Structure 1
Amino acid sequence: MQKSLTKTLVFQLQPDESGQQLLADAFLEARRVYNETIRRAKNGEDWDEIRQDLESDADLVNNTAQLVVQKSLEAMENYYEYDDYNQPSHTKDGAYPLRSNYEEGYNLFLEDDCIRYRASTKPYNTVKGTLSGSPDSLEQLRHAIQSDAWRVGTAEAMRRNKNYELHINITHTKAKVREKEESRTVVGADINEDCVALAALHEEDIIDSVVIDYPEIKGKRHRYFTMRKRTQNVGKSSFDRMFERKEERFVHDRLHKVSRQVVEWVSRFEKPVIVFEDLKGMRDSIDYGTRMNCRLHSLPFRKLREFITYKAAFQGIPSDKINPKYTSQACSLTDCEHTTRVNRNKKRFKCVECGRQDHADRNAAINIAKKGLGKLNRNVPALKTLPNVRKMRRQASGCVNQPTVTHGTARSHHADGIVGVSD
């Protein structure tokens, strides 16, 4: 199957003083266009009329105005598609990113030792300079400009931490992703607030399983949540936005690292496919009080799934989704499969019917993989025993791979460490 795969490269713009002023004015005009688009869309005006009016009225180059309006309406479309949650604001403040297409709103020029840029802001005004960034990113962009297999696409100019950045999308147009039906191994992925559990199954047996912990994301998000509430209580909204941006960057960075680790693990198996829970509509079933709802609604489930999906696609690994109903409540042993909510208590799964104990997220990952096999019309293996639960956690020295400890659980020929599951 032919599938276009896109990667985003980040560079520093470092414009001179006049260039900074041009960008600042254009950011404010883009913000005005965004706010006006959202306001009129909320009022129920025809979207085609909104496009026509604002694209012709905006004090931006035509290409940028079109993309700002398009991004604004996409935000409204996502709001309606994902359960009317998180409605876009029409009073957004601060700088708003400038989108533009390659060779229309911006251009790149290769030189022996650098890559120069020219970005249009307002009509008849351009910002020029040299891109700076990591050597890997510069080399990838240089290769994308010169290679027929890559296409340089849309870019966003923005200001972050007093720095001007250009985020450039490059697309590999000839990447091959295997058909799901050709897969031999189904890897169930259960994404949670502080970990992702993976279980690899084929038609004969379970091959392996692992729980990748990232507690630092949960801890940092809780810390920033507390800090934002305190600043809101004293009316310091600027600090609230600063903490929100810092949290977003931290989580974004960690999720990239976790997704790479997931894809490295999945790549070990023969013709794998990664299966996720389809969590669309999840918010309708969550009602645990204001504070907990806010925390759970903002979890980056979708972002981590997207990171894993596109990184896997670069390795030719397809992805799929299944109905998540009862995956966390059902016993994964084929002879039992007893399903009840009381089977799960936080991170511990203990079947009240057969007495088997397991890590709750690993148990859910196995159930997801079983559903994935069924969706592919494959035989689900007769699981009578399961491997010990292994955990992997990122630490300063790198990844730590170890079995969990304490409470007894099912034994099998896969056991190679201390038996048990974690609390």
Structure 2
Amino acid sequence: MKLVVRVKLLPTPEQAAALEATLRSCNAAANWLSAEAFARRVTSRAGLQALAYVDLRTRGLSAQPALHVLRKVADAYAALKAHARVGNLGKPTSKRYARATSKPITFRAGAAQPFDDRCLSWQIGAATVSIWTTSGRLKNITFTGHSEQLELLARYRRGESDLLCRDGQWYLIATCEVPDVEENSRPDGFVGVDLGITNIATTSSGRRHSGRHLNRRREQDRKLRGKLQRKGTKSAKRRAKRHAGREARRARDINHKISKCIVAEAQRTDRGIALEDLGGIRERARLRKPQRVTLHSWAFHQLGAFISYKAKRAGVPVVYVDPVYTSRECSQCHHIDKRNRPSQAVFACRSCGFVEHADLNASHNIASRGWWVWVCGARSVAPALAPLA
């Protein structure tokens, strides 16, 4: 299983200046190559190497960094084509599709740049790295990180590492190949997890991770973001950018904590985890505009991905079930009726009279469906995981 470990670099001012110049040179070369690729309609790795490898070398890049720039540009266009093919950019006649496909892809001056072991070497014991820059090889750049991350780095690091500058801080993002843990093939039931807005996650064992405080913060964030967007000055745009970063980090931190609790509960009770397959929920859900804003702004997919990869590390099986009518079905008599939900928080079965918190009732239904999916041998495949920083 692949995991991503991020460590923080602690360069001296001179080292930081050399790293910044390197990133700027690499991304300037990537922007030039992207424009050439767009103009000549050549986006494959082999085509770009034949087209521009020599020119990239004359721009001050060594052999390996030049190849990494070529691959970065080719991969960016491949990702753009994939998004267009599956409809993530809207219809071909839409303005969004036109904006994305009618001009070359551009890279920020501080965008991440990959380095392989020829350009970057790790001295784990000394907590330093040596890295290629446009001004020569820099040695003894100190790094730091959490003890668990450093252990993963020392034992399982493989492949390339990405150099990244964010808000004036320098980071290295390394890929680790962690051996798979043997999955529990005979779980004692499943923990059903119902995802929502008021309660971010409710488990069938009765634990609710409330989102009330978080939703108030998110409402304040939306108001501030709208105010800054209406103002439109350069300082307002800078502040909005910083604030957006804090919003994303807060949501990621909460998702990590919730997923850790759910996986620990399943592992402790020798059970699996059942999740709803929420693919396409944004297109299916019919909500009022304020509700759409709330639904679309929360990272449900990220929470599901965190649960999936943490469960895989712990050997906990994960299944995905059909979410249809989980909130309207009685977990006792399985009667389905829209009127079973008289309010957001209350479930009252019109058939047997069973009353329970609506999210808890839904989590019981998800747990039951997860067990039947497992027993019938129709285990669904977990969605592909995005790299985690």
Q: Point out 4+ residue stretches in structure 1 off by more than 6 angstroms.
A: 38-41, 85-88
1:368-399 deviations in Å (ceiling 9; x for gaps): 112112212369xxxxxxxxxxxxxxxxxxxx
SS at match of 1:305: helix
1:40-68 deviations in Å (ceiling 9; x for gaps): 78x99564269726873656513532553
- Structure 2: gaps (5+ residues): 91-95, 378-389
1:134-153 deviations in Å (ceiling 9; x for gaps): 45156415xx43x4xx2334
Q: Give the Cα–Cα distance (whole angstroms) in 1 for the partners of residues 148 and 214 of structure 2.
A: 26
| Structure 2 counterpart of 1:281 | 280
Q: How much has 1:302 moved relative to structure 2?
A: 1.0
- Seen in structure 2, the aligned counterparts of structure 1 residues 252 and 340 have a Cα distance that, compared at 3 Å, is same
| Structure 1 counterpart of 2:243 | 243
- Seen in structure 2, the aligned counterparts of structure 1 residues 5 and 158 have a Cα distance that, compared at 3 Å, is closer
| Structure 2 counterpart of 1:107 | 121
| Structure 2 counterpart of 1:255 | 255
Q: Does 1:160 align with 2:166?
A: yes
- Contact 1:177–1:318 (CA<8 Å) still a contact in 2? no
| Structure 2 counterpart of 1:264 | 264
Q: Does 1:363 align with 2:361?
A: yes
SS at match of 1:209: coil
Report the AA paired with residue 371 of structure 1.
R
Q: How much has 1:125 moved relative to structure 2?
A: 4.1
| Structure 1 counterpart of 2:381 | none
SS at match of 2:201: strand
- Contact 1:14–1:163 (CA<8 Å) still a contact in 2? no
| Structure 1 counterpart of 2:17 | 20
| Structure 2 counterpart of 1:132 | 143
Match of 1:177 among 166, 182, 185: 182
| Structure 2 counterpart of 1:95 | 110
Q: How much has 1:298 moved relative to structure 2?
A: 2.6
| Structure 1 counterpart of 2:327 | 328
Structure with the larger helix share? 2
| Structure 2 counterpart of 1:386 | none
- Seen in structure 2, the aligned counterparts of structure 1 residues 169 and 341 have a Cα distance that, compared at 3 Å, is farther
- Seen in structure 2, the aligned counterparts of structure 1 residues 157 and 254 have a Cα distance that, compared at 3 Å, is same
Provide the alpha-carbon RMSD of the alignment: 3.5
SS at match of 2:144: coil
Q: Does 1:52 align with 2:54?
A: no
Q: How much has 1:13 moved relative to structure 2?
A: 3.7
Q: Does 1:62 align with 2:59?
A: no
- Seen in structure 2, the aligned counterparts of structure 1 residues 32 and 301 have a Cα distance that, compared at 3 Å, is farther
Alignment TM-score, normalising by the size of structure 1: 0.72
Report the AA paired with residue 44 of structure 2.
D
Q: How much has 1:284 moved relative to structure 2?
A: 1.0
| Structure 1 counterpart of 2:130 | 118
Report the AA paired with residue 5 of structure 2.
T
1:68-115 deviations in Å (ceiling 9; x for gaps): 3365246433565475469796466562112233x134210244xx22
- Seen in structure 2, the aligned counterparts of structure 1 residues 96 and 7 have a Cα distance that, compared at 3 Å, is closer
SS at match of 1:376: helix
- Contact 2:127–2:142 (CA<8 Å) still a contact in 1? yes
Report the AA paired with residue 129 of structure 1.
N
Q: How much has 1:247 moved relative to structure 2?
A: 0.8
- Seen in structure 2, the aligned counterparts of structure 1 residues 287 and 310 have a Cα distance that, compared at 3 Å, is same
- Contact 2:128–2:143 (CA<8 Å) still a contact in 1? no
